[in-house]
Amino acid sequence: MKHRTFFWFILPSLAAMILFIALPTVSVAIQSLFVEHEQVMVEVENCGPFKCETVLQVDNEATAALQEDAPLGRFNGLGTYTNRKHLAFEQVGVAWNETESLGAFLSELLNLPFYKALIFTLTFTFVVTPFVIVLGLGVALAVNTVPRLFKGPTIFVSLLPMIVTPLVGALIIFWMVDADGVIGATLQRIFNNPNLSLKASMPLTWIMLIVYGIWSSTPFSFIVFYAGLQTVPKETLEAAKIDGASRWQAIRYVVVPYMMPLVVFITLMQLMDNFRVLEPIVAFQASAKATSLSWIIYNDLRGGDIPQFGSAGATSILTIIGVAILLTPVLIRTWRDFNRKRA
Amino acid sequence: MSTSVADRKSKGLIWFTTSFVVLWVFIAAGPFLWTVWGSFKVQPDFFSKSDWTNAIYGVMTKAETGSAFTGAGYYGAWVEQEFWRNSINTAIVVFFTVLISLTLGTLGGYALARSGYRYAFWLLMIALVFRAMPHATLVSGYLLPFFEWNIWGRLSTTIIVLVAINQPFTLWMLHSFFLNIPKDMDESAMVDGCTRFQAFRYVIIPVMWPGVITTGLFSFLLAYNDFTIGAVLLNSENQTMVPKIASFLGTVRETGDVMFAVAAAVSALVPLFFLILFFQRQIVSGLTAGAVKG
């Protein structure tokens, strides 16, 4: 295809992506260097019946004018990045020097909003992803053995947790495990503790969110593996059996190696999707015990009366750096494959 | 072919796999059945502290309304809280997002599939990176400019943003579908004197519909399921269904009103249910298309 034709075909799509994905990233980077204006204060004389006193008051008009003048706020350099709400170098340094063990240091970190979110996001991503792969393969192998008649309905049902709106899916689980819900109330009875609430403890909240993550993502890996199983060559499997391989050995040494490219694909998709976890935290109202990077950005923008653009921007840039680190191995691998194909 | 020992399944194995599948079906579908059933009960039944079977038989519902089923939650959500407005907004956003995404995506995907140059590969890689961007980070970049230009809160703004966010995925998917259409078809049309666009119009468009429908399903899902973009970019008047359900959680805490949220959530499930019912095959093939090409 000629360069010129290619350009005209790709232009609308490319323009949309540049305008609404690339440029916002720049906009975020600029925002992160500014902070909100301080409120303009004026001295006002307040006269009561007995005496007059001067008090400081917010000059709403002047503040609004200043806001109008420079909507970005005032320049702050990298100040937002290093403050307590973000990288908090000072607090981390203090914690490092004053705590004896690694565990104590980590629990200090969990008091800092950015690290709390980062630690949860990473835990969620790296616990959910392997579980999803192993469970998905297990379900695919099992479904592959059921009679043909039941396969269609089983796949239909399996698609539900994945297709469903994440917020709605999370709510449905939350209403069941909440203290009054069917699972929550049953657990209270089993442990004979009427105050038991999954939301009240940090480990239980984390487990609840991770279980939701596994529930909602397993169907994806199941479907991909199931389709992959249909393409495993029968001859290879038969050859393995003739050579005396047991069922387990056939799976371990024939099927699993054949599935490896799919594992890479699922891992990539899962890392991207789990890293942006937001909806379950909103639905479970779990932000007291667990926050994610996406959640603190969302909270900066929608949590208070005034959006905290600077703070949201700084967290966004740090999140994008995180995504870049996560994707680097995949990109390098693809680049090598591409070069090999060309060579 | 003679059956070897390993080919014959033992009773234990059959028992194990069957119960595993049954367990999985229960885990996957159970929560939905439970919530759909419970949405026709009153709150003291669905969130019953004393006995969970109340939610099944509707003991309190009978006591309060005289019948074992009640549509009070649905009435509250759709009529009192005007959920129908949100569903219309969702319909508008989803329809235009899918339409525009597919138009841009087919053109771009076709170009990427037919260009053998190195930059086509790089564009796909960049699209992959864009695909990985958490939506919350993008949204924080939109907000301030959109406030300044006074285009915040409108449905049209949200549609354009969703189209753009959808592009990386649409491009990847359609690109791999177009790779499956033999090059000879459009090239022979061009030998016969068509321009590239005419070849696309008269040769490719008639045969591309299976791929476009599959991609359209996923565009639909992205637009329909979106929470972050709608919640941040739309004003309360233009809110779509999912952010509205989230706002139910914050505002309605009194007894009975939780059921509004339950009813609204179940209502939002219905279109998805029919989507899977009619398009199961396309969804499965779409999920695996990326993997096989990957």
Do the Cβ atoms of A20 and B114 come within 8 Å? no
The minimum CA-CA distance between A242 and chain B, rounded to whole Å, is 8
Q: How many CB pairs under 8 A join A and B?
A: 305
- Out of B35, B52, B131, closest to residue A185 by CB: B52
The verdict on residue A52 lying in a domain is yes
How many Cα atoms sit within 13 Å of A62 on the Cβ side?
8
In sequence order, the β-bridge partners of residue A242 are none
For residue range B207-245, list pLDDT tens digits in order: 888 888 888 888 999 899 988 888 888 888 888 888 888
| Same-domain status, A91 and A133 | no
Do the Cβ atoms of A13 and B246 come within 8 Å? no
Do the Cβ atoms of B6 and A164 come within 8 Å? no
Chain B interface includes A328 (CB < 8 A): no
Do the Cβ atoms of A326 and B249 come within 8 Å? no
Radius of gyration for the alpha carbons in chain B, expressed in angstroms and rounded: 25
Per the structure block, which two tokens stand in for B155? 């449905």
Do the Cβ atoms of B140 and A316 come within 8 Å? yes
Question: Are A45 and A52 within 8 A, CB to CB?
Answer: yes
The verdict on residue B6 lying in a domain is no
CA–CA distance, A130 with B104 (Å, rounded to integer): 35
| Same-domain status, B42 and B97 | no
Do the Cβ atoms of A168 and B24 come within 8 Å? no
| Same-domain status, A265 and A138 | yes
If we measure between CA atoms, which residue out of A300, A294, A297 comes closest to residue A273? Answer: A294
Phi, psi of A35 (to 5 degrees): -125, 165
Phi, psi of A289 (to 5 degrees): -105, -25
The verdict on residue B112 lying in a domain is yes
pLDDT at B97: 92
| Same-domain status, A281 and A213 | yes
Which of A81-90, A123-132, A189-198, B30-39: highest mean pLDDT? Answer: A123-132
Residue at which a domain ends, from A269, A291, A313: A291
The verdict on residue A318 lying in a domain is no
Chain B interface includes A168 (CB < 8 A): yes
ipTM summary value: 0.88
Chain B interface includes A253 (CB < 8 A): no
The verdict on residue B1 lying in a domain is no
User: Under DSSP, is residue B35 helix (H, G, I), strand (E, B) or coil?
Assistant: helix
For residue range B55-67, list pLDDT tens digits in order: 777 777 777 777 7
Do the Cβ atoms of A25 and B141 come within 8 Å? yes
pLDDT at B251: 63
CA–CA distance, B257 with A238 (Å, rounded to integer): 60
The minimum CA-CA distance between B265 and chain A, rounded to whole Å, is 6
If we measure between CA atoms, which residue out of A308, A293, A322, A294 comes closest to residue A76? Answer: A308
* Closest residue of chain A to B249, computed from CA coordinates: A283
Interface of B with A in 104-143 (CB under 8 A): 104-105, 107-108, 110-112, 114-117, 120-121, 123, 125, 127-143
Chain B interface includes A265 (CB < 8 A): yes
Do the Cβ atoms of A227 and B48 come within 8 Å? no
If we measure between CA atoms, which residue out of A337, A147, A20 comes closest to residue B97? Answer: A20
The verdict on residue A305 lying in a domain is no
Residues contacting residue A195 through CB under 8 Å, at least 6 positions apart:
A188
For residue range B174-196, list pLDDT tens digits in order: 888 888 888 888 888 888 888 88
Do the Cβ atoms of A173 and B231 come within 8 Å? no
| Same-domain status, A66 and A168 | no
The minimum CA-CA distance between A99 and chain B, rounded to whole Å, is 33
| Same-domain status, B91 and B53 | no
CA–CA distance, A119 with A106 (Å, rounded to integer): 9
Domain extent, residue B55, equals 11-75
Residue at which a domain ends, from B52, B75, B98: B75
Answer whether residue A213 shows pLDDT above 70: yes
The verdict on residue B242 lying in a domain is yes
pLDDT at A145: 82
What DSSP designation does A55 have?
E
Phi-psi group of A275: left, alpha or beta (phi > 0 → left; psi -120 to 50 → alpha; rest → beta): alpha
Answer whether residue B52 shows pLDDT above 70: yes
Number of domains in chain B: 2
The verdict on residue B3 lying in a domain is no
Contact list, B112 vs chain A (CB under 8 Å): 10
The verdict on residue A12 lying in a domain is no
- Out of A152, A154, A167, closest to residue B227 by CB: A167
| Same-domain status, A148 and A219 | yes
Domain extent, residue A60, equals 35-75
Q: State the angle between helix axes of B258-293 and A166-177 in degrees (0 to 180), rounded to the nearest 10.
A: 130
- Out of B117, B164, B288, closest to residue A224 by CB: B288
| Same-domain status, A271 and A181 | yes
Lowest mean pLDDT among A127-141, B28-42, B113-127, B239-253: B239-253
pLDDT at B253: 57
Interface of B with A in 184-223 (CB under 8 A): 196-197, 200, 221
For residue range B77-104, list pLDDT tens digits in order: 788 778 888 889 999 999 999 999 999 9
The verdict on residue B88 lying in a domain is yes
For residue range A271-325, list pLDDT tens digits in order: 888 998 888 998 888 888 888 888 988 888 887 777 888 888 888 898 999 888 8
| Same-domain status, A260 and A203 | yes
pLDDT at B49: 72
Answer whether residue B278 shows pLDDT above 70: yes
| Same-domain status, A131 and A181 | yes
Interface of B with A in 71-100 (CB under 8 A): none
Lowest mean pLDDT among A42-46, A92-96, B4-8: B4-8
| Same-domain status, B129 and B222 | yes
Chain B interface includes A12 (CB < 8 A): yes
CA distances from B112 to A208, B120, B174 (A): 42, 6, 9
Number of domains in chain A: 3
Output the DSSP codes for A229-298.
HHTS-HHHHHHHHHTT--HHHHIIIIIHHHHHHHHHHHHHHHHHHHHT--HHHHHHT-TTT---HHHHHH
